[in-house]
């Protein structure tokens, strides 16, 4: 080989190897690769699950989280020393935990613990703001929530907390969890009602429809509140014609989980089987699309299972 050609070739090969090693050892860049425009976009399947698990590990590595940290201990997570400039990555870690639990771990032993970890990181993100932490200390958590202006930290902390609460809905009421999560979602609805495919009203509707009937007081099953919330994310004249102020953003229709939740937590809870069948069928008939491919694929799988149950009742 010509020596003058060999030297540049060696240099190019060395640069290529170094670039490959750098890409392999940049955990934050790899973790961020699952996000696009604030949404998690990974494959609905084993490869997507592996990418999300890798992203969780990448964020923890980039944040310098000790390998032996007990993430199920809220105080231990709160004690991890991080500058406020790392708050966006903490929020994204919470968001990844939620996606992993709700899309890929449903029914698995790790599901509840994964939500709990996401909740702890989400609450940490909120408290990384000194103003939030000071107001919580002086006036309580709900007061701090009512003054929060960052929807992402509120929303993903809340979504994971709701995921945990679903494992024991009755206990969540006296523990104050329902009061706090409703306050968080109502604040999210004030700040950004269309966030996460119109998520704040979708989850509020789900909570009011899914709560137990038994307790007295405010936080019990309330179908009128559920309908009022769902009619802000689902354009269904048959159910929503008499709901005052129910204006649906056109983008809500792209998120199939809005109709899936409406069917499960309102129509099915009210034993409106024919209406539930009709709405669930629209979830299956619509395309998954490019905006929410991960959650829409999960919503269609859930809709198929719910439709089987509904048709047994017809």
Q: Has residue 217 got a pLDDT over 90?
A: no
Q: Has residue 10 got a pLDDT over 50?
A: no
**What's the CA gap between 263 and 257, in Å, rounded?**
10
Q: Identify any residues that bridge with 35 across adjacent strands, giving them in sequence order.
A: 40
**pLDDT value of position 27:** 81
Residue range 195-209: mean pLDDT, rounded: 98
- Which tens digit of pLDDT belongs to each residue from 68-96? 999 999 999 999 999 999 999 999 999 99
pLDDT band at 25 (very low <50, low <70, confident <90, very high): low
**What's the CA gap between 246 and 231, in Å, rounded?**
6
**pLDDT value of position 243:** 74
Residue range 281-308: mean pLDDT, rounded: 98
Percent of the chain with pLDDT over 70: 91
Q: Is the CB of residue 177 less than 8 Å from the CB of residue 166?
A: no
Question: Considering the entire predicted model, what is its pTM?
Answer: 0.91
**What's the CA gap between 264 and 270, in Å, rounded?**
9
Percent of the chain with pLDDT over 90: 86
- Which tens digit of pLDDT belongs to each residue from 278-290? 999 999 999 999 9
Bridge-based pairing state of the strands 39-40 and 35-36:
antiparallel
């Amino acid at each position: 080989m010509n020596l003058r050609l060999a030297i540049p070739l060696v240099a190019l090969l060395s640069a290529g190897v170094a670039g490959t090693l750098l890409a392999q050892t940049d955990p934050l860049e790899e973790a961020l690769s699952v996000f696009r425009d604030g949404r998690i976009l990974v494959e609905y399947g084993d490869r997507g699950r592996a990418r999300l698990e890798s992203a969780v590990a990448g964020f923890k590595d980039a944040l310098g989280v000790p390998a032996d940290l007990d993430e199920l201990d809220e105080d231990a997570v709160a004690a991890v020393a991080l500058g406020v400039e790392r708050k966006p990555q903490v929020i994204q870690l919470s968001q990844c935990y939620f996606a992993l639990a709700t899309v890929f771990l449903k029914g698995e032993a790790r599901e509840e613990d994964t939500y709990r970890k996401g909740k702890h990181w989400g609450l940490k993100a909120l408290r990384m703001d000194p103003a939030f932490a000071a107001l919580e200390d002086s006036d309580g958590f709900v007061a701090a929530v009512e003054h929060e202006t960052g929807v992402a930290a509120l929303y993903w902390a809340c979504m994971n907390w709701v995921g945990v609460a679903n494992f024991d809905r009755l206990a969540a009421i006296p523990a104050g969890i329902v009061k706090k999560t409703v306050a968080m979602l109502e604040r999210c609805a004030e700040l950004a009602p269309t966030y996460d495919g119109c998520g704040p009203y979708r989850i509020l509707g789900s909570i009011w429809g899914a709560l137990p009937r038994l307790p007295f007081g405010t936080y019990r099953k309330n179908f009128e509140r559920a309908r009022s919330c769902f009619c802000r994310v689902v354009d269904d004249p048959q159910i929503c014609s008499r709901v005052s102020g129910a204006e649906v953003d056109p983008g809500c229709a792209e998120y199939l989980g809005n109709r899936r939740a409406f069917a499960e937590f309102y129509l099915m809870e009210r034993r409106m089987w024919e209406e539930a069948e009709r709405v669930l069928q629209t979830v299956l008939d619509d395309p998954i699309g490019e905006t929410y491919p991960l959650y829409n694929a999960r919503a269609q799988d859930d809709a198929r299972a719910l439709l089987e149950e509904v048709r047994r009742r017809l």
